[in-house]
Structure 1
C-alpha cells in the first residue's frame, strides 16, 4: 500500500465514528488520508458515551440541512463521505449525493437502514428474503404468526441494530409483551419505535460477510460464522465468532449471496457488513449494514486474514486502480482465531479489573481483550450487545487449543470474573 510519504494527502469524512474512529484514524493517517468527523443528529446512544478519539482535523455537526453540511465539507476539501456507524448510513448517502462524490444508489435509500424496506428491495430484485411484516398492532403480528410464519417469530425494531430488543417469541403472550416493550422504548439512536418488525425464525447457521466496494465492484475482506445463544427469555446474544477459509464451500455460497444483496440494495461504495442465515433452502439475509463491521482489531485481522476492511477502504481512496486489481475474495485464513463475546450471566456484577482479567490473559491462545466499562463499574445481566462486557480474541493454529481456552474462559466468567474482587 502507498505510504504517507508517497501518497498525496486526501481528506475523507466519516459519519458517526464514535466507536470506529480510534481504529480508522491511525490506519487512514498512515495512508496519507486526513479525516473529518461528521456527527449526525441521532448517533448511537451507547457509543456516544465513549471517549471520542483525537486526531480528526475538523468536526462538523449536522443539524438537518444536508446542503449546509455538504457546503461545510466542500470548504474542507473532503473528497469522500463514508459511514462508520449504523446511525450515519442514511446521512452519508445524502451527503455523497449532494457533493457528487462516490456513494450508493438513491432509488431506495431507506432500504439500507429500514429492515422492512430492505426485504422489499431484495424481493424486487428476485433475491431470497425472509417472510416479514411490520405493524404497530401486536394482534396483527400474532395473526400473521399463527396463520403464516408459525412460532417462533423474531421481533425487533425496524431500524435499529446491535441485537437491540431482538427477541424470538414462542407464543402470543410473548409477542404482546415484546411488542409493547419495543413500542414504548427508544431505539439505540434515541428515536421512538412507531412500528415493530416481525420475521419468520430463520433456522440454520449464521454468517457475516464484510466487504468493501468501489463503483459497484465488491471485494470480500472476511467471512465469519456467528455462534449465538438464545437466552431463556428469548433474547439472542453473541457467544463467539470464527472466520472461514475463503475456499470453504459455505463461505463461497454466502459470499456470492452477499454480493447479490449488495447489488439489490444499491451498495456501490465503501464498507458493508452483511449477516446471512444458511437455511435448509439456502442463504437468507438477516440484515445488511452499509458501514464497517463492528468489533474490529485491524492489526489482528491483518495478521490472521492478510487484510482488513479499514485498509481496503483506504486503498480504494488512495489508489482505486490498485484496489480494482484485488481478487474478489481479498483475504486468506493465515491463523485460527476466535472472538469470544463476554457474557455476564448474573443480575449483578462489576466490570472486571486488570487483576481479574489476569486468568484470561494467561490462556495459551490469548491475544487481545476489549472491555466496554471501567473496572469496578456495575454491570447488568447480558441480554444484548449493549450489555455485553466486551470480548476476548484467541489465536492459535491448534483448533483444540482454541476450544479448550474458550471453555476455560467461560469457567472463569462463571466463577469470579464479574465479582467485586478476584478470588
Structure 2
C-alpha cells in the first residue's frame, strides 16, 4: 500500500496495516502541509514525487502496490492520480479537483441537487463585495480555495473588511506553501456545525464518528475551535447528518477513501462547509476505541486488508460508550510560550483529563490564537458524568487565563 503524505493521522496507518502483514510505501507530494511535516514512520521506501505521475507510479508498481491512500490533505489529488494510473481502487475522476477546490466542491453539490453554500471566486475584490451585497449579505466568509483547517478563514462584516482580508489572502500562501491566486467567498451559514468521519469502499460508506464543533468568532472575524463533543449514533441530528454526508460523498465521487466532512445544520437542513477525502486530524486511537468502540484508522486498514469483513459492518459503525470533550487550547496573549510540563500539571490534575497533545516543545514562543496553526495543542476529557466534563472544561479555561502561556509566570 502507498500512503501519500503520511503525516498527522496518516502516520498512524502503517503500524495498523503491519498487523495485517501489509507493507507501506511513503510518497511525498511536492507541497505537503507546512505545519504537519515530520517523520512519517517506517516504510519500505520513501518516494519523492516531482510532478511526473507515470514515473512515480512506475516505482509503486515495482513495489506491487495495490492501494494508494491520502494520508493528509495535500496528498488527496496525487493519491487519486496515482490510483488512476495504476488502476487500483480509487475515487471517481470525472471532476477530481472538486475534492480539493472548495468552489468546485460547491458546484459538484449543486449539480447533484444537494443543498450547498452560495459561493463565488474572484481576484477582483469589488466583484466579491458587489456579489455579497446583492446575494448573501453580511457577514460573508472569505477563504483560500484549496487550503485546510481555519487557514485565513474570516467572517467579514463590511466592505472594508472584505478588502483587507482579500488582500491578505492574495498576498499569502496556503498551508501547503502554494500562493493563493484567487479568493473564495461563501455565504455565512447560521447554525450548529458538525463533522462526520467516514470510510468508503467501492462506493459503500460507513460512518465512524460524528462530532459537534463549538467555535469562537474573534473580534477581527477569525474563527477558532473551542471544543468538540460527539453525538450518539441514534441522535436524530446524527442520522440526518449521516444521510446528507453520504450523499455528499457520492456527489464528490469518494469511493475508496477515508472522509472528513464538515456540515452546518441550518434552518434549511444540513449544508456542506467542506469535505476532505482523507482521515480527520488529531486522533488518538486508544481514546477513539474507548469512546466509540472503533476508529477511522483501523477501519480504513480493514477496508484494504479484509474488504469482505469491512463490507459486513453496519453503515453506522460506531457506538457512544463514554462522554468525551476534545478541548482546543487557546492562547489569549499577543505573545506567549508553550507551557512547561510542570505548568501543565494543573490541567493534568483535572478529574476527567486523560491525554494532552502539545503542538510544539515547551518554552517555544507562540502568537495569540487566531486559527488552528496558532492553537497550542488540545486536551481530551472523558467522564461518565457530563457535569464533570463541563466543570473541568471551565477550570481548564480559567487555568489558561491565569497566565498559563505567560513566560514571566514560569516556575
With normalisation by structure 2, the TM-score equals 0.98
Matches for 1:301-340 after TM superposition, within 5 Å: 301-340=288-327
Mapped pair 1:62 → 2:49: yes
Are 1:23 and 1:297, in contact at CA under 8 Å, matched by a contact in 2? no
Kindly provide the CA deviation profile for residues 12-52 of structure 1, in whole angstroms up to 9, marking residues without a partner as x: 1111112224422322222322221100001111112xx31
Mapped pair 1:20 → 2:9: yes
Name the residue aligned to 1:226.
213
| Residues in 2 aligned to 1:345 and 1:351: alpha-carbon distance in whole angstroms | 12
Secondary structure (helix, strand or coil) at the match of 2:281 reads coil
Mapped pair 1:269 → 2:246: no
Kindly provide the CA deviation profile for residues 125-144 of structure 1, in whole angstroms up to 9, marking residues without a partner as x: 10110100000011001001
Kindly provide the CA deviation profile for residues 136-192 of structure 1, in whole angstroms up to 9, marking residues without a partner as x: 011001001111110000000001111100000000000000000000001111111
| Residues in 2 aligned to 1:30 and 1:414: alpha-carbon distance in whole angstroms | 44
| Residues in 2 aligned to 1:349 and 1:31: alpha-carbon distance in whole angstroms | 45
Mapped pair 1:166 → 2:141: no
Q: Per-residue deviation at 1:416?
A: 2.4
| Residues in 1 aligned to 2:64 and 2:149: alpha-carbon distance in whole angstroms | 33
Mapped pair 1:366 → 2:386: no
2:116 alignment partner, one of 105, 129, 134 = 129
Mapped pair 1:38 → 2:15: no
| Residues in 2 aligned to 1:71 and 1:119: alpha-carbon distance in whole angstroms | 34
Secondary structure (helix, strand or coil) at the match of 1:283 reads strand
| Residues in 1 aligned to 2:332 and 2:19: alpha-carbon distance in whole angstroms | 41
1:95 alignment partner, one of 65, 70, 82 = 82
| Residues in 2 aligned to 1:56 and 1:353: alpha-carbon distance in whole angstroms | 33
Aligned residues: 410
Are 1:15 and 1:38, in contact at CA under 8 Å, matched by a contact in 2? yes
Q: Per-residue deviation at 1:410?
A: 0.4
Name the residue aligned to 2:336.
349
| Residues in 2 aligned to 1:191 and 1:319: alpha-carbon distance in whole angstroms | 37
Kindly provide the CA deviation profile for residues 251-306 of structure 1, in whole angstroms up to 9, marking residues without a partner as x: 00011000000000000012000000000000000000000001111111011100
**Structure 2 stretches lacking a partner, 5+ long:** none
| Residues in 2 aligned to 1:281 and 1:65: alpha-carbon distance in whole angstroms | 45
With normalisation by structure 1, the TM-score equals 0.96
2:378 alignment partner, one of 377, 380, 391 = 391
Secondary structure (helix, strand or coil) at the match of 1:20 reads helix
Name the residue aligned to 1:409.
396
Secondary structure (helix, strand or coil) at the match of 1:334 reads coil
Q: Greater CA deviation, 395-404 or 32-41?
A: 32-41
Secondary structure (helix, strand or coil) at the match of 1:310 reads helix
Secondary structure (helix, strand or coil) at the match of 1:287 reads strand
Are 1:213 and 1:270, in contact at CA under 8 Å, matched by a contact in 2? yes
Over aligned residue pairs, what C-alpha RMSD do you find? Answer: 0.9
2:186 alignment partner, one of 187, 193, 199 = 199
| Residues in 2 aligned to 1:34 and 1:354: alpha-carbon distance in whole angstroms | 36
| Residues in 2 aligned to 1:235 and 1:39: alpha-carbon distance in whole angstroms | 31
**Structure 1 stretches lacking a partner, 5+ long:** 1-11
| Residues in 1 aligned to 2:40 and 2:85: alpha-carbon distance in whole angstroms | 27
| Residues in 2 aligned to 1:277 and 1:225: alpha-carbon distance in whole angstroms | 10
Secondary structure (helix, strand or coil) at the match of 1:369 reads strand
Matches for 1:252-291 after TM superposition, within 5 Å: 252-291=239-278
| Residues in 1 aligned to 2:251 and 2:85: alpha-carbon distance in whole angstroms | 22
Matches for 1:1-16 after TM superposition, within 5 Å: 12-16=1-5
Are 2:53 and 2:82, in contact at CA under 8 Å, matched by a contact in 1? yes
| Residues in 2 aligned to 1:326 and 1:246: alpha-carbon distance in whole angstroms | 15
Are 2:13 and 2:301, in contact at CA under 8 Å, matched by a contact in 1? no
